[in-house]
């Protein structure tokens, strides 16, 4: 048996009116969207942080600084592809990813199959190895007021 490592990722972005909302590589129709330096895909950012953490490669901000114009407006699927390259350079493969998105609206369950396809392609893994879940914050706090969106992710990586 090879080396197995687990990582945890978290990300949060504020929601802004009339701003695009990209989640899991999917453009969602909604009156507001996540705001940030890249496409502000909170789900992919949490996944990237989980993978980087598991491989002891620091965090997403270290690799893709929000002060670097190369990453301004970039698809977070590209960031995930870069992270996978970093993992491969250290001899790791992804075992699985489990993620949770917390937001009041829009409902993302209808979009989860498309998100899994995008993530699987970017990470070079099977859709069967990706779990995406969603919950609300029961109208409590900044999430409940639809001022922000949060994502959590855990992953397992392995090296032979």
Query: Does 37 show up as a binding residue in the annotation?
Result: yes
* Number of helical (H) and strand (E) elements in the chain, helices listed first: 5, 7
Residues 61, 94: contact at Cβ < 8 Å?
A: no
Query: Does 111 show up as a binding residue in the annotation?
Result: no
> Cβ neighbours of residue 119 under 8 Å, at least 6 residues apart?
24, 25, 44, 47, 77, 80, 97, 130, 132
- Kindly list the distances between the CA atom of residue 92 and the CA atoms of 37, 43, 56, in Å, as whole numbers in the listed order: 28, 21, 11
Query: Does 112 show up as a binding residue in the annotation?
Result: no
Query: Does 76 show up as a binding residue in the annotation?
Result: no
Query: Does 64 show up as a binding residue in the annotation?
Result: yes
How far apart (Å, rounded) are the C-alpha atoms in residues 67 and 7? 25
Query: Does 68 show up as a binding residue in the annotation?
Result: yes
Query: Does 142 show up as a binding residue in the annotation?
Result: yes
Query: Does 137 show up as a binding residue in the annotation?
Result: yes
Query: Does 41 show up as a binding residue in the annotation?
Result: no
What residues are designated binding site?
11-13, 37-38, 45, 59-61, 64-68, 135-138, 142, 145
What residues are designated binding site for a divalent metal cation?
11, 13, 45
């Amino acid at each position: 048996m090879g080396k197995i490592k687990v990582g945890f990722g978290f990300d949060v972005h504020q929601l802004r009116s009339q701003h695009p909302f990209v989640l899991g590589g999917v453009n969602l129709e909604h009156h507001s969207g996540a705001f940030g330096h890249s496409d502000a895909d909170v789900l992919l950012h949490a996944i990237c942080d989980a993978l980087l953490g598991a491989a002891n490669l620091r965090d997403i901000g270290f690799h893709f600084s929000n002060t670097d114009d190369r990453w301004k407006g970039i698809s977070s699927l590209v960031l995930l592809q870069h992270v996978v390259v970093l993992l491969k350079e250290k001899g790791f493969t992804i075992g699985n990813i489990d993620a949770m998105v917390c937001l009041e609206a829009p409902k993302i369950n209808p979009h989860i199959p498309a998100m899994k396809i995008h993530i699987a392609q970017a990470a070079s893994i099977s859709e069967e190895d990706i779990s995406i879940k969603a919950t609300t914050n029961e109208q409590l706090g900044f999430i409940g007021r639809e001022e922000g969106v949060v994502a959590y992710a855990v992953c397992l990586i392995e090296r032979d």
